[in-house]
Amino acid sequence: MSDVAAGRRARGGGGSARRAERTAVSFETAKFIQRNIPNFEILNEEALQIIEHNAETVLEEIGVNFVENEAALQRWRDAGADVRGERVRIPRGLARELVKTAPKSFTQHARNPERSVEIGGRNLVLAPVYGPPFVHDAKGGRRYATIADFRNFVKLGYMSKWLHHSGGTVCEPTDIPVNKRHLDMLLAHMTLSDKPFMGSVTEPSRAADSVEMAKILFGSDFVDQNTVMTSLININSPMTFDGIMMGALEEYAKANQAAIVSPFIVGGAMAPVTVAGTLTQVLAEVLAGVSYSQLIRKGAPVIAGAFVTSIDMNSGAPTFGTPEASHITYGVGQLVRRLGLPYRSAGGFCGSKLPDAQAAYESANSLNMGLLSGVNFMLHACGWLEGGLVSSYEKFVMDADQLGALHHLAQGVALDENGQGMEAIREVGPGGHYLGCAHTQANFKTAFWRSDLLDYKPYETWAEEGARDTMALAGERVQKMLADYQAPHLDEGIREALEGYVARKKESMPDAFL
Amino acid sequence: MSDVAAGRRARGGGGSARRAERTAVSFETAKFIQRNIPNFEILNEEALQIIEHNAETVLEEIGVNFVENEAALQRWRDAGADVRGERVRIPRGLARELVKTAPKSFTQHARNPERSVEIGGRNLVLAPVYGPPFVHDAKGGRRYATIADFRNFVKLGYMSKWLHHSGGTVCEPTDIPVNKRHLDMLLAHMTLSDKPFMGSVTEPSRAADSVEMAKILFGSDFVDQNTVMTSLININSPMTFDGIMMGALEEYAKANQAAIVSPFIVGGAMAPVTVAGTLTQVLAEVLAGVSYSQLIRKGAPVIAGAFVTSIDMNSGAPTFGTPEASHITYGVGQLVRRLGLPYRSAGGFCGSKLPDAQAAYESANSLNMGLLSGVNFMLHACGWLEGGLVSSYEKFVMDADQLGALHHLAQGVALDENGQGMEAIREVGPGGHYLGCAHTQANFKTAFWRSDLLDYKPYETWAEEGARDTMALAGERVQKMLADYQAPHLDEGIREALEGYVARKKESMPDAFL
């Protein structure tokens, strides 16, 4: 990482840039979570073996489709699969063998080396909501998202202490032509934040643009040798790998950039209505997708994922924070760890239209499950509303505050002499009070997590101050953060080069809104 | 249990009572949770042994105080403890030996035998909020609780499907003299619900009244031979057992009624500011309290508990749903299981003034932790607001709805042939859709938990219907439930006997409001 820093300084162009860097406001970001607690393992060994056996049966007997992608079919033939039409049947054990070349863990570099993240192992990296076409705030209500909203969410993410990653499509900038959006989104992540970010996946050419812009930001050699983007490649469940998504995967894998290979599951619709059936299909899909990435480039970094929701069988609506989604998320975690791959799942999921109690119940259910299920990369950790249709300003800061609790929960229980606290119990004794004792005085600043947003005031004070609910507190926080925002330092030459690339690319093609 | 039913029928007085019973509206109640998932174990064997060793050191070297209770001191002397003044030092291993006579699990009988609960083992029994002097509802705001509120909460608890227990002081009926409240509270639980309930602990004489009224309800012989009440005995942490609470414990233990022996911990005030220190103190207190119950009557049913909250070191306010409280709750669960005792902890805890997002985040954190920590008896599972100062009507039904998710989560993952769902994956195949397949049709009604309260509607429908948040939906639900309430059948002779007991007792003493 010191290479990046040195490289950046070298590009930085001398004393004035260094001075600007020193004087810029720096917003504190916590280090990615390094778990010191066990994972919750809902499946026993026998259950895991049944599901693993069944997944291999699915790959061997039913197979998966690689759609509109002749090169992929040829790669599978060469690897020893049985290919008929677009159907790829993978002999038992082959996919499991192929995924072994994927790294157990990898570094995604940020342009600020202090904010680089290690994805895998016992780590958890938190990234914001991805994909909503709408935004919501308490004053303006729900409306289509714009590039101004997008920039706001990147700013909020940059200033959020417990968020390690700037994410990708934090909302869809619907005021920009579809074929040019990715350029403005990448430019925002690269210039308004110094946290790691995601690349575009909506067309292979946009993935290529992402790599080109990353080379401007990090330097071409650096990008060739290091992973600087982690991008979201959804599988069209059940068992379908479409040409566009695989094209993007191919671009990233070739460039040694990371892909999240992630079945998109609405239980009962895209997967069997039972948990074990869904686990079987997810494992088969992950095996096929990740092994395909290794056919493109052995050792290409991959995250094996699952986006999971259940369905309300009364209305067909997707539901969030439900027990069945938890079962699946815990189970996929165990299966992915047995493959030795980094794991993506969970998030602050909810179906609510407002950042109200429903949103918080459902999101807390999901966030806690995500931590305990051993997730390594959690997309949608903050800001998700209404089943992912909406990026909520208030919920972004509400969830981002709760992410602090996950950090503390993951620390586990200290059992050194200070942790045991026997001298405190001796000092205080029966009927005493710990607030004033030496052990409390020595530890109180770091002993307990406290929310930086929620209300801890006495009732009377809270009532005098306007009896604000959480949404109101969060709305005020959003306004203050956006007012206080200051961009991280970026070398002017790099900024101009990025802006030039975006301008040239935009000029090179007509607008397209589909 | 058939004896109870037979006894109740015998007292029922013939055909008309039986007909009334058959025609009474019955509100469905789920069976207590029988976990089919593992517990989350945050401490390893070495950590557990350190804490167990330290707890014995606390008992042996520091000791505990039994205050204003000469009989208790004599019992400890007789048991082999070192008693000086009110300080009781318990030789290493003695308390652990004494608790062995407490049952691992016991049945608390309800007057409706179908609603009896088994407390211990892998079971989880859910009971409502206990103790608040205030109530809150969306229309009326926050105000002192009355006996009318108390009766309303008993009715809501009776009608809540996922709540197994009617609880105890669901709110403080502040309009009734302090020395007479317990009579009206017991009468409400006994007549307005047929779920199991808790007895009074605020004076030994009130515990005795509880036993007497239970004898009227269940029959004297039945109460002598069975447990029909589970009552809350708080320990004054650190390490102080006051005479009133122990007096109530003595009454219940003598009558073979169950006591929850529960340290009341605000971390950093009543216990060390570190988790391991708190675990040590809690274990020492539980060992002392539970072993004392066995000195009163070997085999008396006990639940070992911990009420745990952390503190906001900025303001001194108690905080809820925090990671440190989770650490402690997980750890106490492990320690209590190693003692072979039923475990009480957790609840729908929050510090919020409103049933808003803060309330829901904090409560969901607590509820999930409670399930995974192996809790057997969860008090405060619904209705808790503002740090326990307030019983909230809306939050009662909001939490009670979420308790359904805990039931489903606890079921674990089915791995029979239907659960594996291989025929569904074969039938649907790549690119297909599961909604219509035979496996989905056969399973969809029970496959996924759905909330009975939260909003799953499309945005447009939700907006047309008034854009209600969760509090508004819950407020409407409360009104409908109270309007729909019908009392469970109770033999008129028993009702008159209970009312007569209450009237006589009230007449026998002047009102006291302190």
ipTM, interface predicted TM-score of the complex = 0.94
Closest Cα of chain A to B11: distance in Å? 44
* pLDDT number for residue B313: 80
**pLDDT score for A513:** 78
CB contact under 8 Å between A322 and B41, yes or no, is no
**Using the beta-carbon criterion (under 8 Å), do B322 and A372 form an inter-chain contact?**
no
Residue in chain A closest to B369 (alpha carbons) equals A368
Partners of residue A344 on adjacent β-strands: A305, A377
Give residue A27's pLDDT. Answer: 87
Contacts of A469 in chain B (CB under 8 A): 354, 356-358
The pLDDT tens digits of the residues spanning B296-343 come to 999 999 999 999 898 888 888 999 999 999 999 999 999 999 999 999
Is B191 among the domain residues? Answer: yes
pLDDT tier at A11 (50, 70, 90 boundaries)?
very low
A168 within a domain of the structure (yes/no): yes
Q: What is the DSSP string of A212-225?
A: HHHHHHH-HHHHHH
Q: How many angstroms separate the CA of residue A112 from the nearest CA in chain B?
A: 30
The beta-carbon neighbor of A447 closest among B67, B268, B354 is B268
Residues A289, A73 contacting (CB under 8 angstroms): no
CB contact under 8 A, A239 and B406: no
Nearest chain B Cα distance for residue A99, angstroms:
21
The pLDDT of residue B7: 39
B421 vs A276, A389, A457: nearest CB: A276
Whether residues B357 and A274 touch (CB distance < 8 A) is answered with: no
Q: Per residue in A85-100, pLDDT tens?
A: 999 999 999 999 999 9
User: For residue range B236-253, what is the model confidence (pLDDT) as tens digits?
Assistant: 999 999 999 999 999 999
Rounded mean pLDDT of chain A? 94
Q: What is the pLDDT of residue A10?
A: 41
Predicted confidence at residue B16, as pLDDT, reads 53
**Residue A156 near residue A401 (C-beta atoms within 8 A):** no
Determine the straight-line distance between the first and last CA of chain A, rounded to whole angstroms: 40
**B2 pLDDT more than 50:** no
* CB spacing of B313 vs A448 below 8 angstroms: yes
pLDDT at site A12: 42
What residue numbers bound the domain in which A460 lies?
A: 27-412+449-513
The CA distance from A451 to the nearest CA of chain B, in Å, is 9
B227 token code pair: 């447990």
Task: Report pTM.
Answer: 0.95
From chain B, pick out residues whose CB is under 8 angstroms from the CB of A458.
Answer: 317
Q: Is residue B458 pLDDT above 90, yes or no?
A: yes
| Over residues A341-366, mean pLDDT | 97
pLDDT for A43 equals 98
Query: Is B273 in Cβ contact with A434 (below 8 Å)?
Result: yes
Task: Give the residue-averaged pLDDT of B175-196.
Answer: 98
CA closest to A363 among chain B residues? B361
What is the per-residue DSSP string for A134-176?
Answer: EEEETTTEEEE--HHHHHHHHHHHHH-TT----BS-SS--TTS
User: Which of A420, A428, A460 is best to mutate for the B interface (most B CBs within 10 A)?
Assistant: A420
Answer yes or no: do B65 and A430 touch at CB < 8 A. Answer: yes
Which residue in this structure is represented by tokens 């916590």? A30
Task: Inform me whether the pLDDT recorded for B421 exceeds 70.
Answer: yes
CB contact under 8 A, B429 and A280: no
User: Which of B322, B359, B412 shows the shortest C-beta gap to A42?
Assistant: B412
CA pair distance B99, B341, nearest whole angstrom: 8
Total residue count of chain B as it appears in this document: 514
Q: CA B178, B380, A446, A196 torsion: positive or negative?
A: negative
For residue B69, give both structure tokens: 């209770």
| pLDDT at residue B513, rounded to an integer | 78
Residues in chain A: 514
- In B, minimum Cα distance to A416 occurs at B276
The answer to whether B142 and B136 have CB atoms below 8 angstroms apart is yes
Task: Please check the confidence at residue A5 and state whether its pLDDT lies above 50.
Answer: no
Q: Number of CB pairs < 8 Å for A and B?
A: 404
In which band, very low, low, confident or very high, does the pLDDT at A373 lie, cut at 50, 70 and 90? very high
Burial A467-477 (b: 16+ CB within 10 A, else e): ebbbbebbbeb
- Contact flag B408-A324 (C-beta cutoff 8 Å): yes
CB-based contact B240 A430, cutoff 8 Å: yes
In angstroms, the separation between the Cα of residue A179 and the nearest Cα of chain B is: 27
Which of A42, A52, A275 to probe by mutation at the B interface, max B CB count within 10 Å? A275
Which tokens sit at B388? 């326990």
Chain B residue closest to A408 (CA)? B323
Rounded to the nearest angstrom, the minimum Cα separation between A226 and chain B is 35
Q: How far apart are CA B213 and CA B169, in angstroms?
A: 16
Q: Which chain A residues are Cβ-neighbours of B398 within 8 angstroms?
A: 357, 361
Q: How many Å apart are CA B405 and CA A362, to the nearest integer?
A: 10
Are B198 and B231 in contact by the 8 Å Cβ rule? The answer is: yes
> How far is the alpha carbon of B402 from chain A, nearest alpha carbon, in Å?
8
Cβ B383 vs Cβ B129: under 8 Å: yes
- Choose among B127, B330, B271: nearest CA to A429: B271
**Closest Cα in chain B, distance from residue A15 (Å):** 42
Per-residue pLDDT tens for A50-82? 999 999 999 999 999 999 999 999 999 999 999
How far is Cα A174 from Cα A145, in angstroms, rounded to an integer? 6
Mean pLDDT of chain B: 94
Average pLDDT over residues B433-455: 94
In chain B, residues with a C-beta closer than 8 Å to the C-beta of A54 are 420, 422
Interface mutation target, options A84, A425, A460, chain B, most CBs of B under 10 Å:
A425
Does the beta-carbon distance from A357 to B356 stay under 8 Å?
yes
Question: Which CATH number do you get for residue B146?
Answer: 3.20.20.480
A320-330 in b/e burial notation, b at 16+ Cβ within 10 A? Answer: bbbbbbbbbbb
Give per-residue pLDDT as tens, B350-408. Answer: 999 999 999 999 999 999 999 999 999 999 999 999 999 999 999 999 999 999 999 99
Nearest chain A Cα distance for residue B477, angstroms: 15
Q: Examine residue B1 and state whether it is found in any structural domain, yes or no.
A: no
Q: Do B326 and A432 touch (CB under 8 A)?
A: no
pLDDT-derived band at B11 (thresholds 50, 70, 90) equals very low
- Candidates B76, B241, B401, B413: best to mutate against A (most CBs of A within 10 A) is B413
In-domain check, residue B299: yes
**B276 and A413 in contact by Cβ < 8 A?**
yes
B386, closest residue in chain A (CA to CA): A459
Closest Cβ opposite residue B455 in set A236, A352, A471: A352
Chain B CB contacts of A270 below 8 Å: 433-434
Q: Using an 8 Å CB-CB cutoff, list chain A residues near B278.
A: 421
Give the whole-angstrom CA distance, residue B472 versus residue B134.
20
Cβ contacts of A217 within 8 Å, gap of 6 or more: A111, A190, A228, A494, A498
Is the per-residue pLDDT at B66 higher than 90? Answer: yes
Q: Hey, is B318 helix, strand or coil?
A: strand
- For A404, nearest residue in chain B (alpha carbons): B323
Q: Cβ of B62 and A430 within 8 Å?
A: yes
What angle is formed at CA B469 by the lines to CA B464 and CA B472, rounded to 5 degrees? 95
CA B355/CA B88 separation, integer angstroms: 44
With CB atoms and an 8 Å threshold, state whether B267 touches A398.
no
Strand ranges for B226-331 from DSSP E: 230-235, 240-241, 258-266, 302-305, 307-311, 318-319
Which residues have C-beta within 8 Å of that of residue A417, sequence separation ≥ 6? none
Count of structural domains, chain A: 1
Query: Residue B120: its pLDDT value, please?
Result: 98
| Residues of chain A found within 8 Å of residue B445, distances taken between Cβ atoms | 313
Could you report the per-residue pLDDT of B281-300, keeping only the tens digit for each? 999 999 999 999 999 999 99
The answer as to whether A429 is a domain residue is no
**Regarding predicted confidence, which is higher, B186 or B15?**
B186
Is the separation of the CB atoms in A111 and A229 below 8 Å?
no
Is A360 inside a domain boundary? yes
- Residue A443, domain member (yes or no): no
User: Taking CB atoms and an 8 Å limit, are A272 and B421 in contact across chains?
Assistant: yes
Residue A216 lies in a domain: yes
Q: Quick check: A311 and B448 CB within 8 A?
A: yes
Confidence bin at B25 (pLDDT 50/70/90): low
Contacts of A57 in chain B (CB under 8 A): 422
Nearest to A360 among B357, B426, B439 (CB): B357
- Retrieve residue B328's tokens: 């402690």
